Amino acid sequence: MPKNPAMRRAKPARGPEKKRRHGPRLPTTMRRELDAMGPAPTRGSDDEEVSDVGAEDVYEYEEGVPEEEAGKNGRYDAVAKYEYEFDSDASEADEDVPSEEGEDMEEDENDDGEDEEKQIRILQETTGMPREAFDGKKRKQPLELPLQHGDGPVTIHDLLDNIQGKPGYSKVRKRLQQQEKKTMVMAAPLPKVEREKLERRVTYDTSRGELTKWERKVKHNREAPTLFFENDSNLGVNTIAAIANEFKPRTEFEKRIAEITRSTEIMEAHKNDGAKILELNKIDVEDVRERQNRLAKMRSLLFRHEMKAKRVKKIKSRTYHRMLKKDKLKAASADFEADPEAAKDYAMKQEFKRAEERMTLKHKNTSKWAKRILKRGLSVQDEGTRAAIAAQLQQNALLTRKMNSMKDDSSSEGSSDDDDDENDSEAKMLNRGKEKILKVLEEDKEIPNSGVFSLPFMERAMKKQEDAAYEEARQALEEYDDSLRKLEDDNTEQNEDLIKVTGKRTFGPAKNTHKNVNKRQKLEETENSDSEYDSDPAQHLGDDEATTKQDDIKLGTALLDDEQNDLYRSFDDIMKNPGPKTTFEVGMLAGDSWKTVKSSKGNDNDITNKSKLQAPSIVDLNPKQWDNNPDSDSEEEMVEGFLTISDTKESYELPSQAELIRQAFAGDDVEAEFEKDKMEVLNEENPEPEKPALVPGWGQWTDIQQKKGLPSWMIKEHEIAKRNREEALKRRKDSKLKHVIISEHVDKKVEKYLVRNLPFPYTSKDVYEQSIRMPIGPDFNPAISVSALNRPAIVKKPGVIIKPIQYEEVDPHQKPDEPKRVIQRVTPNQNAKKASSKQSKGATSHKRKW
């Protein structure tokens, strides 16, 4: 078939001609065969087909000339036909029409018609006779058809008669007869609705294809950060390689060189070289087989495993699963002992579970079921339900309880690692013992808040018990401390490395005595912060420990005190006489903000008293802190020189009693004052709701009304307002910071720098804020990226006309990182045209050029 697009496009335009195709026709295969046998005799039957294939747009209007084609009366003689044939050859040579099968003589015929017209015109002019006179001369009917009688249509038999006796005739006839035996029943044409539906579908499909091909390009354009519109400035020469490719030898010398380089020998040699390289790539058959085997084995293994998993998964037996779970647990516990990694994993999982629980409170009677039951009353429920509820709560308690985190362990390990090199094993052992005791002490203070243990007397008893145990433990600790101190006396080396001591949990491991000095500083700090904001101690004790249980803290601080005391004592033993202590008691006694006052700090052995102590005052610490500073460089002197002076060692004079008292009171005042200030600010920003009160004279008419008191709605309103206020206070940034007031006042002048609504394409605030996190100016970015960051979405030179979008192939995998250049050609490029013509195959009249 000819590939000329113009010819194909002619097809749909042949509307009226189609109607003539009704008669019985040979199947296409047969027709082809016939064509192969010889073109001339079958011309008549082929006529339509020919016009179908070879018609050009230009000739269409002449195609329907009936006198020439439909003239079946054989008026025309054979001579005319010969003439026609001759003519056709000539015209073909002239026009150089690509005709592969040599059967599109149609146009030639038309040519002939034109010639004839001309002839007639010439005759008319020369003779002056009317046109009709010459019309009779017209030769037509190129086919040798048998004479027809009447207007009956041409049958296949008519056509067959023509080729009688030619080779292949019998074959054709036989097939025809076979076909005729089968009585063909023409299917009734589809109803119009159906047909139209089909048509629509086809149209839809094609048009969809037509549109979707644009998708890529459009997507590309939309995603491109910048579109450049520029005119085609391509001069046609791309690369040096391209130029070299088009090189043709012209001079003698060039020709000779070309001859040599393109000679077969050299080419061959080149090729052989390549083949040699390829040879190295050969793979051993054995290897391949082995690999295949291995793969097959793996596959089969996998398959079996899968099958097994499927089977196991289907098992519904409860006992089986229970056993499985048990096994797993056992294995896991064994694992934990074996490798810490698994233990860590497990701990992480647990931690996650607990966090989840804290977040969702899934087991805290939040479920629909639990709520319903609680609503109906727990006492009404049967035993099982109650048990279930209790179990759930238990689960919740288990999950939300504070755990010994992994951190402590690691830190203790780290610290022990730290002093591995310098510490002897004895100290380590002692430390470990101490640690353990501390742990025990800590662990035992969990008081269940439900069940029998929550009863007050049980609680009391437990506390007593705890105290006793605690006492015991402390004595043990004391012992440890003593021995440690002894050790430390020997050990003169001072380690400067600090261990992070945070919260009560970790001071166990930090109890290495040769880190005495640093640790003491730390302890002081924690204590200081404690005393400064002692009504909210949990928060200041350490960030990691946000325990709110008061007794925990008491215990912690008490422990702290204890140890600190010991430490101080030890320190004093080593360094100083405990002189100033007596004087400090005054300041301490003066401070009235502390709930309990230590009566005898100097007395080291009095332990029971101290355990009740909450926190010592700050003032008593100061002198010690003071001498803490010079202790590190204690007796060392600075070398004289420059402007420095070395003789004076900081001589600290004790402040007078009056001053101490003043300071202590000043501190108190400051705190109270600040609290008051904060309250004021809070009240100002979130005013307290007015107390509910009746308007005098209203709602007090009768005795009953007065007895009833305020109406319930008023009280409710008040409560709601109160709750709202509390929530608002809780939401404040400074709600947990006792010593800070952060103004929540909204500054209107700042508001103009904020975005009121999220800008359009963004749907989430985070994404938007993250997208503007980088400054894009030249001060913050290297010169390379500044221009790229600040380029407008469309770049266009003035005067460039933006043409409608052109279709071109786009590589779908190419990312639109670089700015996209849309190059507009004056004439649509050749490739695009080709592609479009390919696309328009089967489409309806598609004359638009891209």
Binding positions for another protein, 566-625, rule CB under 8 A: 618, 621-622, 625
Q: Is 630 in the site for another protein (CB under 8 A)?
A: no
Contact stretch for another protein (CB under 8 A) within 23-31, 312-320, 663-671, 714-722: 663-671
Dihedral Cα 159, 161, 162, 165, nearest 10 deg:
140
218 vs 296, which CB is nearer to another protein? 218
Contact stretch for another protein (CB under 8 A) within 308-316, 332-340, 777-785, 842-850: 777-785
Helix (H/G/I), strand (E/B), else coil: 821: strand
**Near another protein in 668-687, by CB under 8 A:** 670-671, 673-674, 677, 681
Query: Comparing C-alpha atoms, which of 557, 623, 551, 555 is closest to residue 585?
Result: 623
Decide if 249 contacts 257 (C-beta within 8 A): yes
CA–CA gap between residue 267 and residue 273 (Å, rounded): 10
Q: Is 461 in the site for another protein (CB under 8 A)?
A: no
Q: For the CB of residue 684, give the shortest distance to another protein in the complex, in Å.
A: 9
Q: For the CB of residue 673, give the shortest distance to another protein in the complex, in Å.
A: 6
Contact stretch for another protein (CB under 8 A) within 4-12, 71-79, 198-206, 785-793: 785-793
Contact stretch for another protein (CB under 8 A) within 27-35, 236-244, 414-422, 814-822: 814-822
> Strands 820-824 and 794-796, how do they pair?
unpaired
Helix (H/G/I), strand (E/B), else coil: 105: coil
Site mask for another protein (CB under 8 A), range 719-738, x = bound? ---------------x--x-
Q: For the CB of residue 238, give the shortest distance to another protein in the complex, in Å.
A: 28
Rounded to 5 degrees, what angle do the CA atoms 425, 429, 430 make? 120
CA–CA gap between residue 397 and residue 566 (Å, rounded): 37
Q: Is 763 in the site for another protein (CB under 8 A)?
A: yes
Q: Is 745 in the site for another protein (CB under 8 A)?
A: yes
329 vs 638, which CB is nearer to another protein? 638
Q: For the CB of residue 496, give the shortest distance to another protein in the complex, in Å.
A: 8
Q: Is 628 in the site for another protein (CB under 8 A)?
A: yes
Please identify which residue in 33, 87, 92, 532 interacts with another protein, judged by CB under 8 A: 532
CA–CA gap between residue 508 and residue 83 (Å, rounded): 122
Please identify which residue in 5, 74, 689, 816 interacts with another protein, judged by CB under 8 A: 816
Decide if 560 contacts 523 (C-beta within 8 A): yes
Query: With CB under 8 A, what is the number of residues at the site for another protein?
Result: 87
Crossing angle for the helix pair 28-37 and 43-54, to the nearest 10 degrees: 110
Buried b (16+ CB within 10 A) or exposed e, 47-58: bbbbbbbbbbee
Contact stretch for another protein (CB under 8 A) within 404-412, 433-441, 740-748, 799-807: 740-748
**Near another protein in 462-521, by CB under 8 A:** 498, 500
CA–CA gap between residue 587 and residue 585 (Å, rounded): 5
Q: For the CB of residue 35, give the shortest distance to another protein in the complex, in Å.
A: 55
370 vs 681, which CB is nearer to another protein? 681
Q: For residue 267, give both structure tokens.
A: 């080419």
Q: For residue 386, give both structure tokens.
A: 């109650």
Contact stretch for another protein (CB under 8 A) within 166-174, 233-241, 344-352, 662-670: 662-670
Q: Is 415 in the site for another protein (CB under 8 A)?
A: no
Sheet containing 820-824: give its strands across: 794-796, 227-231, 820-824
Q: Is 769 in the site for another protein (CB under 8 A)?
A: yes
**What is the DSSP code (8-state) at residue 811?**
-
Query: Comparing C-alpha atoms, which of 804, 780, 805, 803 is closest to residue 790?
Result: 780
Rounded to 5 degrees, what angle do the CA atoms 226, 810, 789 make? 20
Q: Is 805 in the site for another protein (CB under 8 A)?
A: no
Q: Is 227 in the site for another protein (CB under 8 A)?
A: no
127 vs 646, which CB is nearer to another protein? 646
CA–CA gap between residue 845 and residue 770 (Å, rounded): 52
Q: Is 765 in the site for another protein (CB under 8 A)?
A: yes
